[in-house]
Structure 1
Amino acid sequence: MNKIYEEYVNFMNDAKSVYISSVNDDADPEISYSPCIVDDDKHIYILVSTLSKRTKSLLAQRNVSLMFIEPEEQCEQIYVRTRLIFLCNTLRIDREMGFSHLLWDEKVAQFTAKFGDIISILVSLDDFKMFRFIPIHGTFVKGFGKAYTIEGQLLDNISHISFSTGEKM
């Protein structure tokens, strides 16, 4: 399963964006996407405006679901796009408070390295906030009969899922 671990970590690290599923104050589901960065602990970071509906949901919710998915134009078969889905805890990273301030600066530098000068413009705007998503557990799907659960504190406990029973093998 070490090969699967390496594949899902590389898949996540190579991604430029992530889909975000949350629930609004009326308990209606919402989905959006955001450019993202991923750190060595597999924490996912986004930088988003509070003017968007999804940010209000993120500020109110503790858990969200995230999905990294293979681009349609790169997949061999549309029904088996490679995808990685995580249930995550959500934390807001403040610009000016203690450790959070140091983390903010570090992650802004990483966003800038990945996405360029647009980041300096975005962080100069007061409405842009940073969020950190900490994965709890997940699923990595590579194709028919190639689905795996991801669990454990280090997200390194990988189990194959049997499609005939829906259970781990």
Structure 2
Amino acid sequence: MQKEIDIEQVKQGYETFIQGKKSCVLSLVDGEGKPFSSTTPFVRVNGKFYVYISRIAEHFQLMEQAQLVDLLCVADEAVTPNPFAAERARWQCKPKHLGNEGYEDVFAAFNKLHNAKMMELLRTLDFSLFELTPLEGRYVVGFGKAFTIDIENDTLVHVVIDKK
């Protein structure tokens, strides 16, 4: 008999996991169809993700051209007893280049999470803000504990497969 899963408890763990993250992996596809991954700091404001990247970064041009971007957060290996069951969350997102002006609420979140002095410096350089709107996702907490992230209904749905 399978143990009942408390979705509210899982959702609370999901939110705590995201709030504890400062950087993510971005996965994109280049013009030749080759995969490209990169890491970058991020913030989450009102359910959307924001990354602030330099125009000379390899992923800048790819972000500008992308229709979709995957954003991945993975638990630190130092606190992961089994790497096959590492806590992780992945979202497929629609990117939007916002530039460097306005969006003070987003920059305030960056200041709080990533050092205000550093952000002040970066804002004088060639950095630019991108908004990543999640369309769908998956949250994994361990074996048999995978959840579809239902963005529209702001909930998690346990993924169950037939083991036959």
TM-score (structure 1 length as normaliser): 0.86
- 2:105 is paired with a residue whose SS is helix
Q: How many residue pairs align between the two structures?
A: 156
Structure 2: gaps of 5 or more residues:
1-6
Quote the residue 1:12 is aligned against.
18
Quote the residue 1:3 is aligned against.
9
Shift of 1:71: 0.7
Structure 1: gaps of 5 or more residues:
none
Shift of 1:57: 0.4
- 2:33 is paired with a residue whose SS is coil
Question: Aligned letter for 2:52?
Answer: L
Alignment check: 8 A CA contact 2:100 2:123 kept? no
Q: For 2:133 and 2:81, locate their aligned partners in 1 and report how far apart those are by CA, in whole Å.
A: 31
Shift of 1:106: 2.0
Q: For 1:7 and 1:150, locate their aligned partners in 2 and report how far apart those are by CA, in whole Å.
A: 13
Q: For 1:20 and 1:154, locate their aligned partners in 2 and report how far apart those are by CA, in whole Å.
A: 24
Quote the residue 2:3 is aligned against.
none
Question: Aligned letter for 1:141?
Answer: V
Alignment check: 8 A CA contact 2:134 2:151 kept? no
* Shift in CA distance, 37/154, structure 1 to aligned 2, threshold 3 Å: farther
Quote the residue 2:90 is aligned against.
85
Quote the residue 1:60 is aligned against.
65
Q: For 1:82 and 1:47, locate their aligned partners in 2 and report how far apart those are by CA, in whole Å.
A: 25
Question: Aligned letter for 1:16?
Answer: K
Q: 1:25 aligns with which of 13, 31, 39?
A: 31
Quote the residue 1:151 is aligned against.
150
Shift of 1:154: 4.3
Matches within 5 A, 1:1-169: 1-39=7-45, 41-96=46-101, 101=102, 103=103, 105-116=104-115, 117-125=117-125, 127-156=126-155, 158-164=156-162
> Over aligned residues, Cα RMSD in angstroms?
1.4
Runs of 4+ in 1 over 4 A off after TM superposition: none
